[in-house]
Amino acid sequence: MRGLIASSIGVACAAALSLPLALSPGAGAATTPSAARALTAEGIPGSTQSLPLSVLPRDRGLRAPGEQGLTQRDVRPFSLVGVVWNDPAAELEGRVQVRTRATGTARWSGWQEVETHNGDHAPDPGTAERDSGRLRGSTAPLWVGASDGVEVRVRPQAAPAHRGAAPAGSAANSAAQAPLPKGLHLELVDPGDDPPPSGSPADVPRAGALTVESAAASAVNADLAPLGAEVIPALGKKETESELIEARGGEADAKVRPYIGPRPRIVTRKGWGADETLRESDFGYTSKVKAAFVHHSATGNNYSCSQAPSVIRGIYRYHVKSMGWRDIGYNFLVDKCGNIYEGRAGGVAKPVMGAHTLGFNTNSMGVAVLGTFSSSKPPAAAVKGIAGLTAWKLGLYGVNPSGKTYLTSAGGNLYPKGESVRLNVISGHRDGFSTECPGRLLYNKLGTARSTSASLQGR
């Protein structure tokens, strides 16, 4: 745990330089673009199909004026869908619905709703990531499972009064519709294949399976697990406390019992199969971690825990390739079985700057539970996973999970830029931004997560 908060750039570079030649793309291998891509993707490339939407015919008045979409069609295999548009600041006032056909069958699903208001998950204003010129507006991604056919409709709706529409029920409002954003595209994401079995325990790295990019992403966790490890193993409370005492100066601080929960088992980016060539190569940090924002991914609940790595790879590819972010937005993800996954690269113990809560990404971390919990109860295992993760990670920074803290807003729809805001240390996304996230039923479980997390810290 030495150097917990130290910059990882030098460590990552040193690790990359020390790799055996067999792991480097230049070690006597073919250097054509396709060959280099095959080397760096580690057999899990995935793909994204981006299809422009167009105005649909009225179809005997069953469709709304200006409705856009795609009629039923065959496409290459995909498992996750979303809709993007040109302006990241524009909101889609309307409904997005998709139907999909299971791969290799003639069976079409019913219409499924896609969460449209996703602008609250974003890099903060004024950051390089926000100002890159690559960002696009987007819906949340929806996991639909292996599919090879799709149909989509985007139906405009009346603009809400708070965005300049006439009052509800007025004659003007009945005719007014917010125009759909320009440049609507349907994104169909194939997350790629799962990593091949290692043939060894999950926390033992596979020899020869590292590229320069994946070695750099792994090196920032070198204090916690071997280079190339697929899992950071759990530690008991006493071992975790000893590790933290050592990081704070060793025996001189041994008399001060730290408040920290046992380190949970964390599946690394290597473990869930991240293609490290997708993201930007460097890592971004804030100064500390004072709060945790809990989210739901809004990708739906129709996945098994064995599929969670595929869901995460789909979200990752959607965030980077479709939405234009530098990496996946969340710092951690938790599946319905309570398994914890490393999110944005930079080191699980470090204060990595995420893109999860617009206005409050500085000095915080984002934890997304895979699923949608507006009307579905979150599994107890997932709430327990949140508690275990926050007890450990917040403990590294001396923070009480059941306490309050102050964060400075970088600008959003609830708090103006520069306002100091008092928040629960474990907050829901909606506490920092006007949004449904993390869903009403998950939000109602945050009190349980706070008390359990504090108890695991020994408070």
Residue-by-residue DSSP string for 363-399: TEEEEEESS--SSSPPPHHHHHHHHHHHHHHHHHTT-
Task: Judge whether residue 437 has pLDDT over 80.
Answer: yes
pLDDT at 118: 67
Percent residues over pLDDT 70 in the chain: 81
Q: What three-state secondary structure class fits 432?
A: coil
Task: Judge whether residue 356 has pLDDT over 70.
Answer: yes
pLDDT at 39: 32
> Please, which pLDDT band fits residue 57 given cuts at 50, 70 and 90?
confident
Average pLDDT for residues 159-170, to the nearest whole number?
46
pLDDT at 119: 67
Looking at the DSSP bridge assignments, the partners of residue 190 are: 47
pLDDT at 251: 59
> Please, which pLDDT band fits residue 304 given cuts at 50, 70 and 90?
very high
Rg of the chain over all Cα atoms, to the nearest angstrom: 22
Where are the extended beta strands (E) located within 87-207? 94-102, 112-114, 137-138, 142-156, 185-190
CA distance 421 to 83: 33
pTM metric for this prediction = 0.86
Q: Residue 202 is inside which H or E element, if any?
A: none
pLDDT at 177: 73
Average pLDDT for residues 220-229, to the nearest whole number?
96
**What is the pairing mode between strands 94-102 and 142-156?**
antiparallel
pLDDT in tens, 90-111: 999 999 999 999 999 999 999 9
How far does CA 404 lie from the centroid of its chain?
25
Average pLDDT for residues 59-69, to the nearest whole number?
77
- Crossing angle of helices 380-396 and 446-456, in 10° steps, is 50
Nearest to 187 by CA among 152, 155, 157, 156: 152
How far does CA 170 lie from the centroid of its chain?
40
Specify whether the CB–CB gap between 377 and 393 falls below 8 A: no
> Please, which pLDDT band fits residue 157 given cuts at 50, 70 and 90?
confident
Task: Judge whether residue 424 has pLDDT over 70.
Answer: yes
Average pLDDT for residues 386-401, to the nearest whole number?
97
Average pLDDT for residues 401-412, to the nearest whole number?
95
- Count other C-beta atoms under 10 Å from residue 51's C-beta: 15
Mean of pLDDT over the chain = 85
Average pLDDT for residues 189-194, to the nearest whole number?
94
Task: Judge whether residue 423 has pLDDT over 70.
Answer: yes
